[in-house]
Amino acid sequence: MKDIVFAFKSLGLLIKKYPITLLSEILITLSSLAMTLIPIYVVQTIVTDYQAGASISTILGKIGLYLVALIGLSLIQLLLSFVTIYVARNFRVTVATMLFQKLKHIDYDFHENTTFLNNYTRSLEEGPDRIYFCAYHQITLIRTIIQSFGVFAVISQMHPYAVFYAVVIGLIFVILRYRVGKIGYQQRSIERPLYRKRNYLNRVFFLKDAMADLKTTAIEALLLKNHHLVSQELVKVYDHYALRKTIWEFLGSVLIAFIYPGVLGIVAYYAFIDLQIAAFASLTVAATTIANLISRLVNILANIQSEMIESRVPFIFLSMTSKIEGRGGQRVGDFQSLKIKHLDFGYDEKIVLHDLNMEIKQGDKIAIVGANGAGKTTLVKLLLRLYDCSKGEIVYNGEPYPSLDPSSLRKKVGAVFQNPEVYSVTIGENVLLKPVETKEEEQLVIDALKFSGLYDDVMRYEEGIQTLVTREFQIKGAIFSGGQMQKLAIARGFAQNYQLFILDEPSSSLDPLAEAKLYQNMLELGKDKTLLFISHRLSTTINCDYIYLFENGIIVEAGKHDDLMKLKGQYWAMFNSQSEKYLGGEQID
Ligand code: ADP
């Protein structure tokens, strides 16, 4: 029953976002009430007039009047239904937007939690509909209750038992449907992770990048097997719940079928005792109406029941609190310095970074090198404040990270990762992350593409920076190689004008020569920027001001290239072994 809060929240949200709903629903309710009561009175009037010997034309006249009233009311309802449709469409978009916006306020580490991912996909996929229908059914519930009271009042003037009987049956039906709702909820909770798995597998078969593997390796058979297993699991879950649900639903419909004959029987019994033919005739209509209303009422109640259980998930998602995101903090000024002091961090129990100490000043070109798994990307995520460190601190311009507003920080400190996402928008928009509207913005995009070395490739497309990336929506879309996508992402980082710009192995898909050219270019064009290069290739490091060598989450060597070479430690060994591959095999002692 605590889910009822979510029902009220849905209704509150709908009225808050679209107050017009309130007015239109009052008008719909009043007209529905009139439309329900009119037929009952029409019958009574006709029979009474007939018994009193009124002429056919008088009776037809009255019927005509009622018909006009009913047509008028129907027209009003038709007009109001446009308001309902307008609200239904827009409210769902509003909720979807709220859910998407909430994402920015969810801490990054939640995305590693499977329960969160299940709830999150459920919220995004179903939240707008569930919240809307939860609110909408409550509105129709109120409307139907008011209509029912009108009819109850008419029937119970003479026969309260009929009302009592109808209400009791209705309540039993609600309880039955509650069970059905609960079973459905349990079923969907078990199905959700399976659907997520199946969607993933379906998606792989759409991915252009996966096509070559699918055609040439054994991965296709493995994925198909998994797809088959997940589908079988889903069938099993369905079998488990379907029978139980069907039995409860069947019992419910049998009960509902009993309302009409029961009410009619009671009405008939009392009417014939008193021999009131006019009352009997109108009460017959009332009995039909009440049976319909009650079955509608209980259906609405049952729908609310299941919708409020379902709207719990998106509401919980919307009310999630985070330790980092969306909590505000001090706005961040222009970058001068960044210090890392005795920093420790681990994703779970295991420490990934230990006792790190570093300093970066405005204009520095710093390199962090180390083997895969040494903790380099983890440090980048900490610098972007996707996580907070467990011990020690990161200090920006003398201010500790937790005191800063993360979104303001990320305007100054930004990163490009190894596997960047490119989006199906134009090249210009991919770089600028907004539409390219002015000449200055166009120039910025061009500068950024030159910085990353993609400019010449882009100019080969007829529409230049206006070319749509991917062929998802346009045959003439740009198809980029892995290296080109990395360059596009580097251009994006440049255009965002990060003052501390981190490049986390963004050149891994380039050949050594192209990579060397890229770094040279970046060092030249990014003179005034503070650049932090992360790599396990050392060709990038020679021209850097300072180099940190990571191993298993600790800094094992630090200094300028020449100093580290003189040390003849790990850096020296790595550099020599790589120079054989990349720098023509020249050994450096
Ligand atoms: P690098 O960038 O140097 O290759 P990473 O920072 O990506 O190294 O990873 C460092 C260690 O942290 C690795 O052992 C990796 O398995 C672990 N790790 C990375 N991301 C996560 C995560 N989200 N959850 C748990 N462990 C992680």
367 and 267 within one domain: no
Do 14 and 56 share a domain, yes or no?
yes
Residue 380 has pLDDT above 50, yes or no: yes
Q: Which residue has the higher pLDDT, 407 or 162?
A: 407
DSSP state letter for 466 = G
Residue 580 scores a pLDDT above 70? no
Within-domain flag for 182: yes
Q: Indicate whether 545 belongs to any domain.
A: yes
* Whether residues 49 and 189 fall in one domain: yes
pLDDT exceeds cutoff 70 at 202 = yes
Nearest in space to 348 (alpha carbons), one of 180, 109, 27, 185: 109
Q: Which residue in this structure is represented by tokens 């499977």?
A: 114
Q: Which run of H or E residues covers position 416? A: strand 413-416
Q: What is residue 229's DSSP assignment?
A: H
More confident: 275 or 252: 252
Query: How far is Cα 192 from Cα 184, in angstroms, rounded to an integer?
Result: 12
Residue 477 domain-assigned? no
Q: Which residues of 327-337 are buried (b: 16+ CB within 10 A; e: fewer)?
A: eebeebeebee
Distance CA 222, CA 474 (A): 32
**In terms of domains, do 310 and 349 share one?**
no
Q: For the chain, what percent of residues have pLDDT higher than 70? A: 89
Indicate whether 41 and 176 sit together in one domain.
yes
Instruction: Report the atom number in ligand 1 closest to the C-alpha of 550.
Output: 3
Q: What are phi and psi of 330, to 5 degrees?
A: -65, 140
Percentage above 90 pLDDT, the chain: 35
* Residue (of 122, 149, 161) closest to 293 by Cα position: 149
Look up residue 581 and give its two tokens: 């591959």
143 and 284 part of one domain: yes
Phi, psi (deg, nearest 5) at residue 484: -65, -35
- C-alpha–C-alpha distance, residues 236 and 15, integer Å: 41
Type of residue found at 366: I
Q: How confident is the model at residue 438 (pLDDT cuts 50, 70, 90)?
A: very high
- Segment 221-232, tens digit of pLDDT: 888 888 889 899
Q: Judge whether 546 lies within some domain.
A: yes
Atom of ligand 1 nearest to the CA of 505: 2
Which ligand 1 atom is at minimum distance from the Cα of 112? 23
Q: What is the 3-state secondary structure (H, E, C) of 73-117?
A: HHHHHHHHHHHHHHHHHHHHHHHHHHHHHHHHHCCHHHHHCHHHH
The CA distance from 559 to 540, in Å, is 15
The answer to whether residue 324 is domain-embedded is no
Alpha-carbon span 28 to 127, nearest angstrom: 26
Instruction: Give the span between the Cα atoms of 151 and 37, in whole angstroms.
Output: 7
Whether 264 and 382 map to the same domain: the answer is no
Domain of residue 392, CATH code:
3.40.50.300
Ligand 1 atom with minimal separation from the 553 CA: 10
* pLDDT range class, residue 134, cuts 50, 70, 90: very high
- Counting Cα atoms < 13 Å in the Cβ hemisphere of 296 gives 18
pLDDT for 259: 64
Check which CATH number belongs to the domain holding 50 and give it: 1.20.1560.10
Residue nearest to atom 18 of ligand 1 (CA): 347
C-beta 369 within 6 A of ligand 1? no
Q: Which residues contact 506 (CB under 8 A, 6 or more apart)?
A: 416, 417, 418, 420, 486, 489, 490
Say whether both 290 and 260 belong to one domain.
yes
Relative to beta strand 530-535, strand 500-504 is: parallel
- What's the pLDDT at 214? 73
Domain for residue 455, yes or no? no
Whole-number Å distance, alpha carbon 373 to ligand 1 midpoint, is 6
- The mean pLDDT value of the chain amounts to 85
Please classify residue 356 by burial: count the beta carbons closer than 10 Å to its beta carbon, then call 0-12 exposed, 13-18 middle and 19+ buried. buried
- Asked whether the beta carbons of 540 and 519 are under 8 A apart, the reply is yes
Position 391 confidence tier, pLDDT thresholds 50, 70, 90: very high
352 C-beta closer than 6 A to ligand 1:
yes
Nearest residue by C-alpha to atom 10 in ligand 1: 375
Q: Is residue 11 part of a domain?
A: yes
Which of 406 and 37 is assigned the larger pLDDT?
406
Statement to judge: residues 292 and 405 lie in one domain: no
Q: Give dist(CA 131, CA 139) in Å, integer.
A: 13
CA-nearest residue, atom 13 of ligand 1: 373
Number of independent structural domains in the chain: 2
State the Cα angle at 297 between 291 and 302, rounded to 5°. Answer: 130
Contact in structure between 512 and 582 (CB atoms under 8 Å): yes
378 Cβ inside 6 Å of ligand 1: yes
Question: Ligand 1 pocket, 377 CB below 6 A?
Answer: yes
| Total residue count of the chain as it appears in this document | 589
The model's pLDDT over 57-103, given as tens digits with 9 standing for 90+, comes to 888 888 888 889 889 998 998 999 899 999 999 999 999 999 988 88
Instruction: Please tell me whether residues 13 and 100 are part of one structural domain.
Output: yes
Mutate to test the pocket of ligand 1, among 347, 353, 419, 503 (most ligand atoms within 8 A of CB): 347
| Residues 170, 175, 176, 177, CA torsion sign | positive
The CA 515 to ligand 1 mean position distance, Å, reads 24
141 within a domain of the structure (yes/no): yes
Question: How many whole angstroms from 379 Cα to the centroid of ligand 1?
Answer: 10
User: 375 CA to middle of ligand 1, Å?
Assistant: 6
438 lines ligand 1 (CB under 6 A): no
Quick one: 280 and 383 in the same domain?
no
CA distance 197 to 234: 11
Same domain? For 314 and 407 the reply is: no
Instruction: Write the DSSP symbol of residue 331.
Output: P
Question: For strand 337-345 and strand 391-396, is the pairing parallel, antiparallel, or unpaired?
Answer: antiparallel
* Contact partners, residue 488, CB within 8 Å, separation at least 6: 420, 422, 427, 430, 431, 452, 454, 469, 480
Residue numbers of the domain that contains 558 = 337-419+532-583
pLDDT (mean) for 197-223: 76
Smallest CA separation from ligand 1 atom 1, residue: 373
Give pLDDT tens digits for 474-532. Answer: 778 888 888 899 899 999 988 988 999 999 887 777 777 777 778 887 887 778 889 99
